[in-house]
């Protein structure tokens, strides 16, 4: 079975982003970039399925700027077989990405597309679901466990109330949640091997998709800062302040 994994290059999760003074966006120049953590989990899951003998080929894809090739090389180093970059500006939005992935999925004919549930930069949580809809496939989002049965996937999902298990017919789209797996560290030998794996670059026109963004960002601001707090010296002082000052407890 072939699996397609989609990954995104984002600001590293440890970076505390700064809003640009001109309000046009967030400062990303000279900021550390990494593979979206949820996408890393997706690549890891595909590789584990391959190691278990359930998957024959893993194709990893990214829709983004040229530097996304680094992200793809990391995915190849984790264990993907082949990579595709759809060379687009950094301002791609979920609907456009889903359309590009739809065309790639039609070309590559995987049994499963797996990707992170959300990118930690725009926090949209839409792409996987949109892709599934455009393909007419079922989806299993926020996956914390994926089991391959005959012709279907049994997926346990993290939902607000706890856990829910659904069964979806293949082919299907899966989006990953935090606890699906713990991604492996990439080893130097695998990084070297990854350099020899194929990385094709396509243009959006090659897929016949229009990636023009639909939503226009009018401005970006910092959230209002909280007033500075105080350190209390004892539980007694804490309770007194909560009661009398903050009036937060009776």
Q: Which is nearer to another protein, 107 or 179 (CB)?
A: 179
Q: From CA 125, how far away is CA 115, in angstroms rounded?
A: 11
Give residues with Cβ within 8 angstroms of 101, minimum separation 6: 4, 6, 61, 63, 113, 127, 131
Among 29, 109, 188, 218, binds another protein (CB under 8 A): 218
**Which residues in 44-103 contact another protein (CB under 8 A)?**
93-95, 98
| CA–CA separation, 127 and 96 (whole Å) | 9
Nearer to another protein among residue 83 and residue 146 (C-beta):
146
Q: Using the rule CB under 8 A, is 148 a contact of another protein?
A: no
Q: According to CB under 8 A, which one of 1, 33, 148, 178 is a site residue for another protein?
A: 178
Q: How far is the CB of 91 from another protein (least distance, A)?
A: 12
Beta bridge partners of 85: 62, 201
Size of the site for another protein (CB under 8 A): 80
Burial of residue 68 (number of CB atoms within 10 Å: 0-12, 13-18, 19+): buried
- Looking at the Cβ atoms of 72 and 130, the one nearer to another protein is 130
Q: Which is nearer to another protein, 76 or 118 (CB)?
A: 118
Residue 184 touching another protein (CB under 8 A) = no
Of the candidate spans 65-73, 83-91, 191-199, 211-219, the one that interacts with another protein by CB under 8 A turns out to be 211-219
Residue 164 CA to residue 143 CA, distance in Å, equals 9
> Does position 239 bind another protein by CB under 8 A?
yes
In the bound state with another protein, the residue whose beta carbon lies nearer, of 80 and 176, is 176
- Residue 45 sits at φ, ψ, to 5 deg, of -65, -40
Q: How far apart are CA 47 and CA 180, in angstroms?
A: 13
Position 144 contacts another protein (CB under 8 A): yes
Q: Output phi, psi for 98, to 5 deg.
A: -60, -40
52-63 CB burial, b ≥16 within 10 A, e <16: eeebeebbbbbb
Binding mask 12-41 for another protein (x = CB under 8 A): -xx-xx-x------x-----------x---
Cβ atoms < 10 Å from Cβ of 95: 20
Which residues in the 99-138 window bind another protein by CB under 8 A?
Answer: 117-118, 120-127, 129-134, 137-138
Q: 117 near 147, Cβ under 8 Å?
A: no
Residues listed for the chain = 250
* Contact window for another protein (CB under 8 A) among 71-79, 104-112, 198-206, 219-227: 219-227
Q: Is the CB of residue 229 less than 8 Å from the CB of residue 223?
A: no
CB of 170 to another protein, least distance (A): 10
188 binds another protein, rule: CB under 8 A: no
Selected from 51, 159, 198, 206, the binder of another protein by CB under 8 A is 159
């Amino acid at each position: 079975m072939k699996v397609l994994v989609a990954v995104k290059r984002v600001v590293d999760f440890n970076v505390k982003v700064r809003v640009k003074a001109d309000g046009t966006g967030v400062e990303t120049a000279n900021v550390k970039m990494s593979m979206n953590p949820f996408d890393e989990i997706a690549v890891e899951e595909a590789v584990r399925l391959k190691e278990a003998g359930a998957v024959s080929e893993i194709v990893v894809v990214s829709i983004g700027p040229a530097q996304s090739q680094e992200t793809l090389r990391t995915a190849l180093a984790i264990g993907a077989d082949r990579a595709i970059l759809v060379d687009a500006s950094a301002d791609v939005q979920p609907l456009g990405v889903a359309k590009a992935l739809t065309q790639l999925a039609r070309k590559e004919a995987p049994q499963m597309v797996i990707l992170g549930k959300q990118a930690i930069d725009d926090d949209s949580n839409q792409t996987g679901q949109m892709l599934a809809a455009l393909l007419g496939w079922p989806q299993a989002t926020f996956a914390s466990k994926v089991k391959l049965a005959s012709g279907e996937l049994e997926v346990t999902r993290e939902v607000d109330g706890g856990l829910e298990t659904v069964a979806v017919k293949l082919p299907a789209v899966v989006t990953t949640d935090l606890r699906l797996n713990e991604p492996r560290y990439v080893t130097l030998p695998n990084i070297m091997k990854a350099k020899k794996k194929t990385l094709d670059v396509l243009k959006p026109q090659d897929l016949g998709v229009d990636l023009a963004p639909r939503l226009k960002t009018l401005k970006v601001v910092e959230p209002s800062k909280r007033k500075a707090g105080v350190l209390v010296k004892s539980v007694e002082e804490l309770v007194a302040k909560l009661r009398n000052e903050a009036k937060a407890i009776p």
